[in-house]
Amino acid sequence: MEEIFEKYRRLMEFAPEEEVDEYSMKQLDQKIYRWHNAEREYLVNLEYFINGKSYSSILDGLYSEPDLRKLKIRFFKPDLKGRWTFTRPPKELMEKDGKGVYRYFEYDPTRLNGWSSTGKVINEMVMVRGYLTDFFVPMSIKSKSRYHHAQEIPRQHEPSLKKLSTLWTDFRCGILPFGIRLCLYTPEERFSITIDPMMNKLMPHPLYNANYHNRVRHSPIDYMIFDAVLASIDMPTLGKKVFEYVFECGDTTAPDVAHVFNIQTKIAENNLQSLINRNMLKNRKEYYYIDMDEIKDQGKKKKMCNNTLRI
């Protein structure tokens, strides 16, 4: 585990010098320890080719490569019994300047054993965007002392949906990644995969326990707008999962949400109500549904609605 600590500590070299002190380094170590020891499932191992060079760890690539010109991720040793719902089992992703090719195995999530017996690989031209799902931004004890209460401390970084080359620049400015979500858009579909850069593995989709039969189909541009809002929204992880569940699976009830996320119904109700308070959901009696007009309005503020999907 010491090697992991060292990889992240090296990346602190890119942070503002005035924010790196004994306190912020200790906070980083605690973040690493909590992430490393959390119970987490993985689906497949990753290997990276960054600007044509091979790296077994993306953290090594971040330290060595000043910018990202092209990226290839090879996925190997998949867990055939893993939770692949809402995830197409990937074989390879190639990206350059926001566009690329996504190669994945044929898989039917509605079947008990969704893997194709032929091992067929499907190639899709995709537009590639990404954002941080978990991260660390160093703050020195001097900066923290300006605030009397923890709740007064402003958000240190607002994640947003962006090209991977721009995301790379964020990393090289001292924003340390712990979860990276890649959104892959085709003319008819959107795929998403979430990378754990510490372990160099792929994590299951947040909705792996949901029923894929209930999935609502959305256009790629609606997915892009939703992804932009989901990326930047400042709320607890469970609230984000509930938000995504209602978007992906349509009208739902608090007991449905409680079942999917294995939580108490009251907790589900509280999270749904929080989303209503943010004007992201509406409800009819016991049913909750996405307020897509509000999502699009928020997407406009993030300049996503006028994006043209170019693949």
Residue 233 maps to which CATH number?
1.10.10.10
Q: Does the residue 86 lie in any domain?
A: yes
Q: Which of 205, 237, 256 is the last residue of a domain?
A: 205
Same domain, 254 and 192: no
Cα–Cα distances in Å, from 209 out to 38, 87, 151, 157? 19, 12, 33, 30
Angle between helix axes 2-11 and 22-37 (nearest 10 degrees) is 130
Q: Does the residue 311 lie in any domain?
A: no
pLDDT of res. 305 = 44
Q: What is the pLDDT of residues 106-165, one digit of tens each?
A: 988 888 787 877 788 999 999 999 999 999 999 999 988 888 766 667 777 889 999 999
pLDDT above 60: residue 80: yes
The mean per-residue pLDDT over the stretch 264-288 comes to 94
Q: Could you give the percent of the chain with pLDDT greater than 90?
A: 78
Task: Give the Cα separation of 234 and 269 in Å (integer).
Answer: 19
Task: Give the Cα separation of 139 and 242 in Å (integer).
Answer: 30
Q: Does the residue 89 lie in any domain?
A: yes
Same domain, 176 and 219: no
Same domain, 192 and 221: no
Q: Does the residue 87 lie in any domain?
A: yes
Which of residues 305 and 239 earns the better pLDDT score?
239
pLDDT of res. 304 = 54
Number of domains observed in the structure of the chain = 2
Domain residues for 36?
A: 1-205
Beta bridge partners of 50: 53, 71
pLDDT of res. 213 = 81
Helices first, then strands: H and E counts in the chain = 10, 11
Average pLDDT in the chain: 92
Same domain, 37 and 179: yes
DSSP conformation class of 107: B
Q: Which of 205, 239, 264 is the last residue of a domain?
A: 205
Same domain, 199 and 80: yes
Q: Does the residue 219 lie in any domain?
A: yes
Same domain, 87 and 216: no
Question: Which of 214, 218, 166 is closest to 191 using CA atoms?
Answer: 218
Same domain, 1 and 97: yes
pLDDT of res. 59 = 97
3-class secondary-structure state, position 287: strand
pLDDT above 60: residue 306: no
Per the CB < 8 A criterion, the answer to whether 244 and 206 are in contact is: yes
98: left (phi over 0), alpha (psi -120 to 50) or beta: left
pLDDT above 80: residue 268: yes
Q: Which of 179, 205, 231 is the last residue of a domain?
A: 205
Same domain, 131 and 225: no
The mean per-residue pLDDT over the stretch 12-37 comes to 96
Same domain, 186 and 296: no
Report residue 198: phi and psi, to 5°. -70, -45
Q: Does the residue 98 lie in any domain?
A: yes
Cα–Cα distances in Å, from 188 out to 88, 108, 131, 136, 219? 15, 17, 21, 35, 7
Same domain, 191 and 80: yes
Q: What is the pLDDT of residues 38-60, one digit of tens each?
A: 999 999 999 999 999 999 999 99
Residues 6+ away with beta carbon under 8 Å from 122: 103, 104, 105, 106
Question: Which of 234, 229, 224 is closest to 310 using CA atoms?
Answer: 224
The CA R_g of the chain, rounded to the nearest whole Å, is 20
Helix residue ranges per DSSP H, 111-156: 141-144
Same domain, 215 and 299: yes
Same domain, 244 and 283: yes
Beta bridge partners of 45: 76, 201
Whole-structure pTM value: 0.92
Cα–Cα distances in Å, from 236 out to 16, 55, 220, 253? 27, 32, 26, 20
Q: What is the pLDDT of residues 186-216, one digit of tens each?
A: 999 999 999 999 999 999 999 998 988 888 9
Q: Does the residue 239 lie in any domain?
A: yes
Q: Does the residue 292 lie in any domain?
A: yes
Residues 6+ away with beta carbon under 8 Å from 5: 29, 32
As a dihedral over the C-alpha atoms of residue 71, residue 75, residue 76, residue 78, rounded to 10 degrees, the angle is 170
Beta bridge partners of 6: none
